[in-house]
Each structure stands twice: as structure tokens, then as C-alpha cells.
């Protein structure tokens, strides 16, 4: 516990002892006055039954133990209010969902196909925008574009505007290299270049890539791989790094025809490849038959939860506790004495 205005603590330090001393002096003066009245015969001696009913004990001297309860409650309430003036602060533990999510977009020419309206690319971008807007601010988001090569178009960041701008700039062109997309996504998560053909991160030494258990890759693609490296090898490396991949299949297995550079090219969704990638990395595959199906990836991401302490002013809690004590004290006073004292 700390205080934003510690100098204000001088008020309860000075006031509480003065109030306690004043209360004790009041009790002493009341006792003296009662003794004077008893000497004059103006205070009747209570019977045993009266002594019991009023809480008196032997000798006929009143000893109502309850008489101190209400004043103590009022004193405690006042103390809390005075301490609250110092603006107390406490460290409150809050669960936070943290991690890194890379949105890896297939930007190959086949993504211009319109078997998913208005096109595979436009549907992927629309779903990604919704995904970005729904993520808590503690999640870092990055954007990777891959066709025949891979490019980090936005490093992982908490700035949602930069992520959305990177998504808007994407356009379909060229071939598809799923393995390159996964490799580039791992590089974005690791913060350094990860190469599948590097002997330090291949085979028995793959663990050198690092471990990123609170990271995931959302792979938006039609799954038609036309170039190296091997997507399965890239998925194995992602699994070693603890990165789950959630492939989203865009289009339909029946396929369609898209016009590229004046040529008509047949393209179809390769679900088998995307399912293998998801299984290898302990992720989940989604078939985006329409944009609504595409949204289901939101609840599937399994990122880490951490407990983080946050300094929070708790003046309101002190005021609420003081108000509660005042209400209790007033209620007991009315119940016992028929008035608020």
C-alpha cells in the first residue's frame, strides 16, 4: 500500500488520538456527574432485573458494554475517510491475455479467384480487419505477405492502425510458397531471420530457433503450394518453436478458374495440405466457405494468460468502507437507544 499524497496522513495521525482522548474525557465527566447525582439521591438504584436488562453488573453500577460499540464504529469510519484523503494506492493483480499473432496472407495470383465473394483476397482481408479490431490491446499483431517469397509487411505491434494499413496494402500476384510464409512468420515472431536451410535450426539443432509458446500464426491461403521450401518442414520447425498455426482455407475444393496475365488458370483449395500443417503444430484448420465461417478462428486461438500487477488508486474503497461503518453504527444506535448518537 502506498499513498499519492502521503502528507495528508498527518490528519488521521493528529485527529484520531485527539478524538480518542476527547471520548475518554467525555466518559469520565459523565461518570463524575452520575456520581454527584447518586450522592444527591437523584439516580434510582436499579433492581437485579433492571441490571440484567441494561447490561449492569453487581453493585448496581451500569456497565453497558454496548455503549462503546457505536462510537468506535464512527471513529473507524472517520479514520478511513481521513486516510482516504491521502489517496491510497494498491497493487492489484489482473489476468491478461498476452502473446503474438502473425496474420500470414497468401498473396499469390490464385487469391484473386471469386469462388469466395467478392474474392478470396478481399474476404481474407475483411475477416482479418474484424480479427484485429477484436483483439485485446495486450496482443501484438504482425502481418506477413507470401507468394513466391515471404515479406514481413508489419512487424508485431500493439498499434492497430499500422496493422490495418498493412492489411489494406495487400494485393494478389505471383505463385504460392506456403513454407516460405511459415518461415517468414516465424522470423517475425522471433525478431530475427529464421532459415529452414540453416544447419543451426534444422534437424537435431532445431530447438535453437527458440520457444514461443504464446504465439500463433493465422495462415490465410488456398493451400496450393507451387514453390519451396517444403511446407511440412516449415510446420515441423514451428512445432519445435511452440508456435501453433491456424490455417484458414480460402475457396472451395471444387475449384474455379482465374485469369492471370491473360491466361486462364484453374485453382482449387488444397485442404489436405492445410490440415497437415494444423495437425503438426497442434493448431486447427478452418474451411472458410464464407466470411461467417472465417470468423470462427477468433475463439480458437490459445494464447497465454499472465498475472500482472497494476497500481490502482483505492480511495473509493476506503470511502465505501467508511460509509458502511457509518450505516451500521447508526442502525445499532437506533436499535439500542432509539436515536443516532
State the chain's mean pLDDT as an integer.
Answer: 78
- Here the cell at position 123 is 474476404
**Alpha-helical runs (H) found in the chain:** 10-39, 48-54, 69-84, 120-134, 160-168, 178-190, 231-240, 271-280, 291-294, 315-337
The distance of Cα 13 from the centroid of its chain, to the nearest Å, equals 39
Kindly list the domain boundaries of the chain, sorted by start residue.
Answer: 2-90+312-337, 107-302
User: Are 213 and 304 contacting, i.e. CB atoms less than 8 angstroms apart?
Assistant: yes
DSSP string, 292-337: HHHGGGGGG---EEEEEEEEEE-HHHHHHHHHHHHHHHHHHHHHHH
Q: Which residues pair with 106 in a beta bridge?
A: 146
| Phi, psi for residue 234 in degrees, rounded to 5 | -65, -40
**Distance, first Cα to last Cα, the chain:** 33
| Cα–Cα distance for residue pair 206/193, rounded to 1 Å | 14
Q: Which residues pair with 220 in a beta bridge?
A: 105, 248
Q: The cell 490495418 sits on which residue?
A: 164
| Cα–Cα distance for residue pair 297/131, rounded to 1 Å | 9
pLDDT attached to residue 280: 94
User: Are 205 and 248 contacting, i.e. CB atoms less than 8 angstroms apart?
Assistant: no
| Cα–Cα distance for residue pair 237/19, rounded to 1 Å | 71
User: Are 90 and 314 contacting, i.e. CB atoms less than 8 angstroms apart?
Assistant: yes
> Checking DSSP bridges between strand 2-3 and strand 88-106, what pairing results, if any?
antiparallel
Average pLDDT over residues 269-280: 87
The distance of Cα 65 from the centroid of its chain, to the nearest Å, equals 50
| Cα–Cα distance for residue pair 341/329, rounded to 1 Å | 9
- Could you report the per-residue pLDDT of 80-113, keeping only the tens digit for each? 998 988 888 887 766 666 788 999 998 887 777 7
- Could you report the per-residue pLDDT of 189-232, keeping only the tens digit for each? 998 888 776 444 444 344 467 888 888 999 888 767 777 788 89
For residue 156, is pLDDT > 50?
Answer: yes
Average pLDDT over residues 300-317: 70
pLDDT attached to residue 204: 37
Q: For domain 107-302, is the CATH number 3.40.50.410?
A: yes
- Those residues with Cβ within 8 angstroms of residue 52's Cβ, 6 or more apart along the chain or in another chain: none
**Among 49-63, 141-155, 167-181, whose mean pLDDT is lowest?**
49-63
- Here the cell at position 206 is 532445431
pLDDT attached to residue 307: 55
Q: Which residues pair with 102 in a beta bridge?
A: 142, 217
Amino acid at each position: 500500500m502506498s499513498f499519492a499524497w502521503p502528507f495528508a496522513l498527518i490528519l488521521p495521525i493528529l485527529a484520531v488520538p485527539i478524538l480518542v482522548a476527547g471520548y475518554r474525557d467525555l466518559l469520565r465527566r459523565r461518570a463524575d456527574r452520575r456520581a454527584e447525582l447518586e450522592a444527591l439521591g437523584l439516580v434510582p438504584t436499579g433492581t437485579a432485573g433492571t441490571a440484567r436488562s441494561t447490561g449492569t453488573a453487581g453493585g448496581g453500577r451500569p456497565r453497558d458494554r454496548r455503549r462503546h460499540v457505536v462510537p468506535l464504529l464512527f471513529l473507524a469510519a472517520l479514520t478511513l475517510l481521513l486516510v482516504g484523503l491521502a489517496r491510497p494506492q494498491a497493487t492489484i493483480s489482473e489476468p491478461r491475455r498476452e502473446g503474438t499473432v502473425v496474420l500470414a496472407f497468401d498473396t499469390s495470383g490464385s487469391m484473386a479467384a471469386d469462388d469466395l465473394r467478392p474474392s478470396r483476397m478481399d474476404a481474407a482481408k475483411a475477416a482479418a480487419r474484424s480479427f484485429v479490431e477484436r483483439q485485446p490491446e495486450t496482443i501484438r499483431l504482425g502481418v506477413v505477405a507470401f507468394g513466391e517469397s515471404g515479406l514481413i509487411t508489419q512487424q508485431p505491434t500493439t498499434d492497430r492502425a499500422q496493422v490495418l494499413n498493412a492489411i489494406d496494402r495487400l494485393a494478389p500476384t505471383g505463385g504460392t510458397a506456403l513454407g516460405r510464409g511459415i518461415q517468414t512468420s516465424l522470423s517475425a515472431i522471433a525478431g530475427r531471420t529464421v532459415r529452414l536451410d540453416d544447419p543451426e535450426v534444422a534437424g537435431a539443432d532445431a530447438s535453437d530457433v527458440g520457444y514461443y509458446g504464446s504465439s500463433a500464426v493465422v495462415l490465410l491461403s488456398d493451400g496450393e503450394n507451387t514453390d519451396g521450401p517444403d511446407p511440412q518442414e516449415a510446420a515441423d520447425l514451428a512445432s519445435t518453436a511452440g508456435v501453433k498455426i491456424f490455417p484458414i482455407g480460402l475457396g472451395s475444393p471444387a475449384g474455379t478458374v482465374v485469369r492471370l496475365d491473360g491466361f486462364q488458370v484453374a485453382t482449387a483449395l488444397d485442404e489436405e495440405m492445410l490440415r497437415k500443417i494444423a495437425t503438426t503444430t497442434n493448431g486447427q484448420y478452418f474451411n472458410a466457405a464464407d466470411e461467417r465461417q472465417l470468423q470462427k478462428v477468433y475463439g480458437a486461438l490459445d494464447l497465454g494468460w499472465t498475472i500482472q500487477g497494476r497500481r490502482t488508486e483505492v480511495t473509493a474503497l476506503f470511502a465505501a468502507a467508511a460509509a458502511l461503518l457509518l450505516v451500521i453504527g447508526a442502525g445499532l444506535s437506533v436499535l439500542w437507544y432509539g436515536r443516532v448518537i
